[in-house]
Amino acid sequence: MHFTDPIACSSAVAKVKEFMKATIQNEVVESDSSDHSDKPEDNFSLWDDHYKLVHKSWKTAKSDDAISDELSIYLRSSVGRLNENPLEIWNDLKIQLPKLHTIAYKYLTMVGTSVSSERLFSKAAQIVNQQRNRLKGKRLNKLLFLQSLPKEHWV
């Protein structure tokens, strides 16, 4: 990554680590719930809670190592092919960087445009003019909603 400000770089890396931890924690919660449903609860064991706690802490430590390893591999790698599709590049990196791949796909598939918000603001400017300057927010929201409906719904 190219950052001129080292503080901005470290905060970006910290944010990516947070995203990766959240992804791993979601996976751990899902796997824990599936582990509990598979085991029969007929036999009581004094050590069951101990084993569960040890297993959970082991998974957490393992996931922290995976985050550090995966992120350091990505940060040390060379700059990608800038003239190619980033989705294809991340599809190639899926096996090597699975956690970063899910985060990349989450943000790369977002539509990067502001056309809809600009359209909404221009419609709001048409509704709120000099003659209708006392409209309250609730009424304005309703009018904007009604204006956003297609003409077929008005028949």
Residue 144 predicted with pLDDT over 80: yes
Q: For the chain, give the secondary structure using H, E and C.
A: CCCCCHHHHHHHHHHHHHHHHHHHHHHHHHHHHHHHHHCCCCCCCCCHHHHHHHHHHHHHHHHHHHHHHHHHHHHHCCCCCCCCCHHHHHHHCCCCCHHHHHHHHHHHCCCCCCHHHHHHHHHHHHHCCCCCCCCCHHHHHHHHHHHHCCHHHHC
* Domain residue ranges of the chain, discontinuous segments joined by +: 6-37+47-82, 115-154
pLDDT by residue (tens digit) across 94-130? 888 888 888 888 888 776 666 777 888 888 888 888 7
pLDDT given at position 112: 65
8 A C-beta contact, residue 95 and residue 73: no
The answer to whether residue 37 scores a pLDDT higher than 60 is: no
Entry pTM: 0.47
Taking the C-alpha atoms of residue 125 and residue 119, their distance in angstroms, rounded to an integer, is 10
Q: pLDDT per residue over 55-72, tens digit each?
A: 676 666 655 566 678 888
Are 70 and 99 contacting, i.e. CB atoms less than 8 angstroms apart?
A: yes
